[in-house]
């Protein structure tokens, strides 16, 4: 299976699901060619609504459509859609409107466009809201299953997707399960938790670490909210060291969620890898290297954390 951006896999999945379920509609804010709903819009023009560059209105319209029985996917860049936090907070979360919020272009991996286009705080914002689960799939297989799940999920949720291609990481028999994390590589010395963009690099890093005599357990935490508390606590108990890796601010994202969980349930040393400060323009690979999210950077930080 070739590498594919999760936004592309999302667009393909939506097109397929749209044929089976007439309740599915899309609402976009002039980015349908980037969020990849354009194919759905072409196939089902009467069910796709481009409301112009007006994300708050887009979200509100989504809420209304949901209250009238539709299953709307409201789509924009992660930073722009979650930037309308107060609208999500009242029109979607508090109203309990069955809106699927899709944020593409997550993280610094979007590259050259620079910070203003990067979704780097979206998980932190939505984690604070009751009633909105957060799902970040890591490859094509997982994305398509997550989109299918989103349609079935009885209530709002947030799908966090990438602009960049993602190498496959899921086993062939993979079944996405809401609220469940998956061990991709068992280990005993350190737990590496990640999802989405940097997950493939974590697996690469684990190979490097193996060469250094460190057995890293890599877990795909596709469901950032709610967390698979049992699996995470069990792994932390086994390894005694936890590293979180995310293309998101180190405040309030996966690292924040895991730290809160472990601090209360099983205090364990945690190292959060991710973005500190603002992002910047650059080529995606160079940016991952600079921010320590490539395989070398992850392996190096793990070794430092383990005092080796």
66 binds other proteins (CB under 8 A): yes
Contact stretch for other proteins (CB under 8 A) within 95-103, 157-165, 221-229, 253-261: 95-103
292 binds other proteins (CB under 8 A): no
- Rounded CA separation 10/160 (Å): 10
- Burial (Cβ within 10 Å: 0-12, 13-18, ≥19) of residue 240: middle
Contact stretch for other proteins (CB under 8 A) within 45-53, 146-154, 219-227, 236-244: 45-53
Which one, of 88, 197, 118, 101, lies nearest residue 153 by Cα?
Answer: 101
Q: How far is residue 12 from each of residues 46, 96, 144, 216, 272, measured CA to CA in Å?
A: 18, 27, 8, 34, 33
1 or 53: CB nearest other proteins: 53
29 or 110: CB nearest other proteins: 29
231 binds other proteins (CB under 8 A): no
Report the residue from 32, 91, 117, 136 that binds other proteins according to the rule CB under 8 A: 91
| Shortest CB 157 distance to other proteins, Å | 18
| Shortest CB 127 distance to other proteins, Å | 20
Q: How far is residue 152 from each of residues 17, 71, 99, 181, measured CA to CA in Å?
A: 11, 9, 12, 19
160 binds other proteins (CB under 8 A): no
| Shortest CB 26 distance to other proteins, Å | 12
Q: Is 98 helix (H, G, I), strand (E, B) or coil?
A: coil
C-beta separation of 104 from 75 below 8 A: yes
Contact stretch for other proteins (CB under 8 A) within 31-39, 44-52, 210-218, 248-256: 44-52
| Shortest CB 23 distance to other proteins, Å | 9
What Rg, from alpha-carbon coordinates, does the chain have? Answer: 19
Torsion of CA 209, 213, 215, 221, to 10 degrees: -10
Report the residue from 70, 153, 215, 300 that binds other proteins according to the rule CB under 8 A: 70
Bridge partners, residue 216, by sequence:
190
| Shortest CB 42 distance to other proteins, Å | 16
Report the residue from 54, 152, 186, 237 that binds other proteins according to the rule CB under 8 A: 54
210 a catalytic residue: no
Report the residue from 41, 73, 82, 89 that binds other proteins according to the rule CB under 8 A: 89
Write down the H helix ranges in 212-248.
229-239
59 or 102: CB nearest other proteins: 59
Catalytic residues: 55
Contact footprint for other proteins (CB under 8 A) = 25, 27, 46-47, 49, 51-52, 54, 56-57, 59-70, 72, 86-87, 89-91, 94-97
């Amino acid at each position: 299976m070739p590498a594919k951006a999760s936004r592309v896999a999302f667009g393909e999945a939506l097109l397929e699901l749209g044929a089976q379920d007439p309740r599915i509609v899309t609402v976009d804010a002039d980015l349908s060619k980037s969020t990849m709903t354009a194919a759905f819009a072409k196939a089902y023009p009467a069910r796709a609504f481009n409301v112009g560059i007006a994300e708050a209105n887009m979200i509100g319209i989504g809420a209304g459509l949901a209250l009238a029985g539709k299953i709307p996917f409201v789509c924009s860049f992660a930073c722009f859609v979650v930037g309308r936090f107060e609208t999500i907070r009242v029109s979607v979360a508090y109203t309990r409107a069955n809106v699927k919020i899709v944020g593409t272009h997550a993280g610094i991996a979007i590259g050259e466009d620079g910070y203003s286009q990067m979704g780097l705080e979206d998980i932190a914002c939505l984690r604070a809201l009751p009633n909105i689960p957060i799902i970040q799939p890591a490859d094509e297989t997982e994305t398509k299953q997550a989109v299918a799940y989103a349609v079935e999920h009885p209530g709002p949720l947030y799908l966090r997707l990438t602009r960049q291609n993602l190498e496959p990481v899921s086993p062939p028999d993979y079944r996405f399960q809401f609220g469940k994390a998956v061990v991709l590589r068992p280990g005993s010395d350190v737990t590496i938790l990640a999802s989405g963009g940097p997950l493939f690099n974590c697996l690469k890093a684990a190979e490097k670490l193996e060469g250094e005599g460190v057995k890293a357990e890599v877990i795909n935490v596709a469901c950032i909210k709610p967390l698979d508390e049992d699996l995470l606590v069990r792994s932390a108990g086994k390894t005694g060291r936890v590293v979180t890796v995310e293309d998101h601010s180190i405040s309030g994202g996966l690292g924040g969620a895991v730290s809160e969980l472990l601090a209360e349930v099983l205090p364990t040393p945690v190292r959060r890898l991710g973005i500190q400060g603002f992002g910047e323009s650059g080529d995606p690979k160079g940016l991952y290297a600079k921010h320590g999210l490539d395989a070398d950077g992850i392996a190096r930080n793990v070794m430092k954390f383990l005092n080796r």
